[in-house]
Structures are given as structure tokens and as C-alpha cells.
Amino acid sequence: MSKTVLIILGLLVAFVGRKQSPTDLTNNNVIPRPVIISATGNSFQLNESTSIYITVNLPELNQSAKYLREKLQAATGYELKIIPTKETPSSGIYLTTVNNEELGSEGYELLIEKKLLTLKANNAEGVFRGIQTIRQLLPVAIEKSSVQKIAWKIPTGTIRDFPKYEYRGTMLDVARHFLGVEDVKHYLDLMAYYKFNVMHLHLTDDQGWRIEIKSWPKLTEIGGSTEVGGGKGGFFTQEQYADIVNYAADRYITIIPEIDMPGHTNAALASYPELNCNGQATKLYTGTKVGFSTLCTNREITYEFIDDVIGELAKLTPGPYLHIGGDESHATKTDDYIPFIERVQDIVYKHGKIMIGWDEITLAKLNKRSIAQYWASAENAKNAIQQGVKIIMSPARKAYLDMQYDSLSPLGLHWAGYIEVDTGYKWNPATLETEIGRENILGIEAPLWTETVTNRADMEYLIFPRLAGYAEIGWSPTDGKSWNEYKHRLASHGNQYDIWGINYYRSKLVPWSKE
């Protein structure tokens, strides 16, 4: 063989070899897109002798290390050792603390060197968010549940990352169709992967009451016994609810329970005649109309009922917020609605929680700590701002996970329009409404109403892939945001969804890899 042929062969081998080994950290598929990334052109490799070191300064990191080990175990087959340490190790994975104001309570810094991968944050929450980035930087096969023979490499460099909004949530309506504890946990796992920190549970509506209230047992006995379409419904016992709260807390996700009132209350009105102005229980309802029910706002028993319900729920909920609904109360006169919301607000604060409600609550005089959830009315948002009240952005036309993707979508509604994957991604909460500026916004939330959703597969179909886009809107800087760039990262996440067996919408706008 001639010398030139050998050189060419050598170059070819080197080239192919290089292609197989990821070395450019800036070329990644992380969602939400991290704030700052710089690459150093080498790679870190995980192997069976890698250990996870944790600084002794923060005992909570033991949990984080166990979570990371568990996420890496199935596909690698490695059972990584967890070793508490006072000193910086020379190799392995090192979870540690830092004192850095810019990172806030959820930010983190990832320093990836050839031998050592260091994840630092102000606290364990930031470390948890950073672990999601590590999972996404590894080859996607890391998500498989059986052992894969793969070089588990991550390109070297630095990532410094922190969220744009402090509130990044989703909502799940378990009232229209009941979805059980396992489905909620499944959703929480997927949310954690995308660095969400809030799950709002819509626990009551006309069609069902889904949370056990010990002082008013018929709410679930009667009110929980059906759902849209006449199925058997269901409810969470207080123990099950506590289990969900703990599961979420392990993922640094806050549960916000919603008891919708004074409208959207037929399930309660059917359970207890005394909550109705005419003293007669209504019939259970299994249709999908809204705006026909109301609690009797001028009976004292109504407020005793609310005090009991809020009291029990506040005790079960470690998070700071309780959501009181307040939307679409078309059957309540405005003159009755306003004092009602103000009285309920006092009850919420009496039980030590901050009140959240849909944007209609801004008709009432609000405590400055209360929060309005914008879904449709800019006018209501203006009322909130005038009262110094912060806003959660859930514009139906952009962020409702129950809107159809297009006219052919087999599931979903379209009263607020169709939300294709690009429409869900291409909006900015701080410029959507001229009235609402960045300084008024606490964060964003994407609600999944379940009139058309009957099971986990339906839920996945409407959530994915739009959820990833809402995660990015809530977390990543607006600078550098581009659908044309994002769609390639999103396409690569289709590989994760395939591995997880997620029923997702393969939008034509996304260049999914063929399989």
C-alpha cells in the first residue's frame, strides 16, 4: 500500500472516530435551552467504575444522587457508588454546592471535564434541575430500560443555567374525566424532565368532585361517582393526595389544588341539597357545557362548607397556594360574585395560604399577594395589574393543551383556535398583551382540560410534544429563540418519546427521525 493511501485511510479512521464521539457541547438537544454554554472539545465518559460524590455540606444531596443513579442504572447496567466527601474528587460525578446569587433557587452550573463532571447549585433543587440536563446530554439510549452496549459520553465544557420565570406549571383536570394516581405520577415524571416546578390539579367541577373531604363525605360518594360521558369517575383519598404531593415534592414540584367555585360546582350541588338556594340537590351531570351551576352565595352554610373544604385541603397541602377557580360563573350575579370571592379570599388567608383564581376574580378587591391566572381577558388582567396583583399566563389560544393541533386532531376542542406545535412555541408571555408586562408576570402554566381525554394515551397525545415548548418559554431566555432551531432539538426528543412509549403527535412541522 502506498504512503498516500495509508495517510488517507488514517485520516478516514480519525474522522469516523471523531464523528462517533460527541465533543461539541454547544451542539446538544437540551430542552429547555440552557442560558450559557461553552464547549472545550473533549468528552467525559461514564463507566462502571464512575462514582457519584456528594459534598457532606448538604444532606439532601443524598436523595439527588440516588435519583441520578436510578436514572442511569437501567440502560448502563452500572450500579454507581455514592460517596460523601469533604474534598473535590479527581474523577467521577461530583454533586456539590456553590454560593452564587445569579443561579437563584433553581439554577445550576455544570462543569464537564475529561475525568470529572461537577454539578453545582445553591441547593438541592438546583442540583435536581441540573440532573435533567445531564440525562439529556447523554446518548438518548440512556432512557432505555434494558442494558445497552454504548459509550456513555458527554462533550466537555460548561453550562450555566437558571430559569426566566419562577413559576413554570401545568394543569391537569381530573374532574371532567378522572385520571388516577399512577397517571398523575407519570405526568410528574415527564414534567420533571422539562424542569417544571408546579402542577395545578383541577380537582372539582360540574362533572365530578375528586378529593376526599372528611367533614363532607358525600362530595366524593355522590359527587365523585361519575364523569363526562357517564363513566364511573373516581376520586383521590386524602392518603392518595398526600402520596401525590410527596411524589411531586421529591421532584421539586409544588402541587396547587383547585376547588372551583362558585360556578363549576354541580358535583357538590348534587351531593348536598343545602348548598342550593332552593334547598334541592341537582342531578349529576355528565355533559360538557359550562356556566350553569352556582353555590348559593347568600346562605351561611355555603361559607361553612368552604371553610371546612379549604381547611382540610390547606392541611394536606404543604405548598403556599390554593386555587379557588372563580371562572365562568355565568349563573352567579356579578353583585353576588364579587362579595363571594372576597369572603372566600379571607377564608384562604385564614388557613395560611395564598389565593390563586382565574382572571375573573380580579373583579373583586384582591389581597396584593393573591394571584390571577390569565386565560382570556386582557381587561381582567388590567384589573389585576391595577391592584398590584401578579399574573400567571395561560392564554387559551396559545397555551391550552386541550386545543386541537389542527382540524384533523382526533382529540381536543377548538373554541380558542388550533394550536399547532409551532403556535404553542412562538409566543412571548411578556409581549402577548400590551397590558401585561414582564414585571407583572409570575410565570406560565399550560392547562390540560379533559372533556375529550379519557385515559393516559389521550393525555399524552395532547401534552406531547407541546409541553416541551412551554417548558422552554418558561425557562429559557427570549434572546436567541428560534423555531427553526428549536424544531430540530424537539425532533430529537421524539427518540425519547419512542423509548418511553409515549403516544405523541408527530406534527408535520417537526423533522422527526424516521423509524
Q: Which residues belong to the active site?
A: 328
> How many angstroms separate the CA atoms of 370 and 347, rounded?
13
Segments in 419-514 forming alpha helices (H): 421-425, 456-463, 466-475, 483-500
Of 196 and 374, which has the nearer Cβ to ligand TNX?
374
| Residue 290 engages ligand TNX in binding (rule: CB under 6 A) | yes
Q: Is the peptide bond before 32 cis (omega within 30 degrees of 0)?
A: yes
Residue 449 in the binding site for ligand TNX (CB under 6 A): yes
Is 413 a residue that touches ligand TNX (CB under 6 A)? yes
Question: Between residues 82 and 331, which has the closer beta carbon with respect to ligand TNX?
Answer: 331
Q: Three cell numbers at 511?
A: 423533522
- Tell me how many helices (H) and strands (E) the chain has: 15, 17
Count of residues near ligand TNX by CB under 6 A: 11
Q: Shortest approach of ligand TNX to residue 458 CB, angstroms? A: 14
Q: Considering beta carbons, is residue 264 or 493 the nearer one to ligand TNX?
A: 264
Region 309-328 residues binding ligand TNX, contact defined as CB under 6 A = 327-328
261 φ, ψ to 5°? -160, 160
> To the nearest whole angstrom, how small is the minimum distance from the Cβ of residue 396 to ligand TNX?
6
User: Cα dihedral sign for 401, 406, 411, 412?
Assistant: positive
Q: Which is nearer to ligand TNX, 109 or 328 (CB)?
A: 328
8 Å CB contact between 470 and 399: yes
CB of 174 to ligand TNX, least distance (A): 12
CB 179, min distance to ligand TNX, A: 14
Contact call for residue 402 and ligand TNX (CB under 6 A): yes
Contacts of 457 (CB under 8 A, 6+ apart): 503
Angle of the 466-475 helix axis to the 483-500 helix axis, nearest 10: 130
Span 198-217, contacts to ligand TNX by CB under 6 A: none
Sole window of 125-133, 238-246, 394-402, 496-504 interacting with ligand TNX (rule: CB under 6 A): 394-402
CA distance 11 to 338: 76
| Residues sharing a CB contact under 8 Å with residue 316, sequence separation 6 or more, in sequence order | 238, 241, 242, 245, 257
- Residue 289 Cβ vs ligand TNX, minimum distance, rounded to whole Å: 10
Least distance to ligand TNX from the beta carbon of 370, Å? 16
Q: How far is CA 284 from CA 227, 228, 265, 296, in A?
A: 9, 10, 11, 17
Taking the least distance from each CB to ligand TNX, the nearer of 141 and 290 is 290
Q: Look at residues 380, 384, 385 and name the one whose alpha carbon lies nearest to residue 396.
A: 380
- Reading the block at residue 428, the C-alpha cell is 412571548
72 versus 270: smaller Cβ distance to ligand TNX: 270
- What is the biggest distance separating any 2 CA atoms in the chain, rounded to whole angstroms? 100
Q: Which is nearer to ligand TNX, 86 or 289 (CB)?
A: 289
Q: Pattern of binders to ligand TNX over 328-357, x per CB under 6 A?
A: x-----------------------------
CB distance 327 to 260 below 8 Å: yes
Q: Residue 467 in contact with residue 446, Cβ under 8 Å?
A: yes
Q: Shortest gap between Cβ of 291 and ligand TNX (angstroms)?
A: 9
**What does the binding site for ligand TNX look like in residue numbers (CB under 6 A)?**
290, 327-328, 358, 375, 396, 400, 402, 413, 449, 451
